[in-house]
Chains A and B, each alone.
Chain A
Amino acid sequence: MIKVLHSGFYTSIQDKGRFRFRNIGVPVSGTMDSISAGLANALLNNNDNDALLEIALNGPKLEFTKPTAIVISGAEMSPKLNTNSILNYRVYQVKKGDIISFGKLQKGLYAYLAIQGGFQSKTVLKSKSFYDGLTVRSRLQKNDSIPYKSKAIVKTLNSAIKNTNSFFETNILEVFKGPEFELFNFEEQRKLLQTKLTVTNSMNRMGYRLKESVVLHNKSMITSPVLPGTVQLTPSGHLIVLMKDAQTTGGYPRVFQLTEKSISILAQKKAGDSIKFSLL
């Protein structure tokens, strides 16, 4: 088990997400930055879909009750194993009684803590990803405990990758044209692509609202499916980027669709950061 001594700001269990239930309105969920999460699992020889902890903004304090191996990836949050500072993208062995804690957020927003074999929390509709109303919790709370398999340590794992976080330092988000992109004229399309946009405080696992009003419009459409990474344009001209816990359908014109990599990059942005869309 991992015992939660402090929960942190928003710590949840995530895997790749919950598929094939969109037709009954169930969001996909899953890791916000799937690239960083995938690297952490890969370093432990885990499956890509193994459940890990997603840690936003402020890290938790966790105690291990049996030996295992872990990797931290994504945002740089000054992690510590007991009293020693540790690095991202490096495999660490932990013993019974060891404590992981986090300090100052240095870079990015979402960190991942992967564990050998993945967390063994309850699977709901084929996924362990937390989602309010489906799983018992939508975020970890103090005194929660999460099971994991204790594996015999066969050999010293010390693989590491260098400088992996550079992928999210860019502010260019590569996008595809969305289904309604062509409804806008050349000048409007140009504005959508050339305006420098600012991430606001209205950002969570459901979506990111961008600050600028880019293109006012009165184009109405009938509610239609949306995806994580869909960029909607509201009549007030604001852009909303849907993220992993987003609703499955929407009624605003879909002007862009982010690539999975762009979703990961955006997930690591903070309020005040600027971004720009670039057509693939």
Chain B
Amino acid sequence: MKFKLKYKPFGDAALLIEWPQKISEDILNDIQLFVSKIENINHKEILELNYVYNSLLVIYNNKNTQFTPLKIHLQNLYKKSFPTIQKVENVLWKIPVCYDREFGIDLPILSQEKNISIDEIISMHSGTIYTIYGIGFLPGFLYLGGLPESLHFPRKETPRLNVPKGAVGIGGNQTGIYPKNSPGGWQIIGKTPISLFNVNNEMPCEFKASDKISFKPISRDEFNSIELAEVNGNYKLNKSFIND
């Protein structure tokens, strides 16, 4: 393997594995390969795995195992090659977003401050393919990488008390979708009618790290019809597989 990993205890029932401190798809792919190996060996004391960007948390049963033996076990596993493990299939999801002024309440400020027209902002934001680096913060919140530098913009100094579910925003070098109504400090540029998390589905969140996302601009009318289909459970998100 190509990375030097750090293994750290995190409390008495979790082990944190860190890759180098940077955001890169190579690291993400390496984490996923390692996750596949861990899942493959079906270690009965490993209860849960959670990863985002450059770190992987391994939660274990501390009644039956401890940090040091588990660390050694995982270090050996990392070095081992598993020819049977396939590279995770890359999926591209097209998420419909309405950038109308009604939803994109911060578009005028962004346009003014950046000296870019609103149309250009929309075309840059929707013309980019983003990578999911992990899911966290709130149920169904996707950490996306790949926002064009010309769209980087600081968060609001005072967060809004209530940002609606589905709001699409920009905060610093990140873009993302609020999966539920919550307070938030991002600049809001649009809204998606789809749910990123549905507790009634067998898989409450269909997305996974390393999947790709792009945003498809839609009109206010399309927003209404997708929203209606979504409520009735008839909307199927556009999904395609990418060969690389």
Contacts and interface: CB of A to CB of B under 8 A. Distances in A.
B70 interface: no
Interface stretch (B46-54, B111-119, B226-234): B46-54
A257 B52 contact: no
Contacts of A23: 48-51, 135
A24 B215 CA distance: 21
Interface residues of B, number: 36
A249 B52 contact: yes
B54 to A, nearest CB: 6
A225 interface: yes
A202 to B, nearest CB: 13
Contacts of A249: 50, 52, 134, 136-137, 143
Given A25-B136, A26-B139, A227 B52 contact: no
Contacts of A25: 135-141, 179, 197, 205
A13 to B, nearest CB: 16
Interface string A244-275: 00011100001001110000000000000000
Interface stretch (B8-16, B75-83, B101-109): B8-16
A23 B141 CA distance: 10
Contacts of B57: 22, 224-225, 227
B9 A176 contact: yes
A200 B137 CA distance: 23
Contact of B53 (A20, A222, A247): A222
Interface of B: 8-12, 14, 16, 18, 21-23, 47-55, 57, 134-141, 143, 179-180, 197, 199, 204-205
Interface of A: 19-27, 124-125, 132-134, 176-179, 221-225, 227, 229, 247-249, 254, 257-259
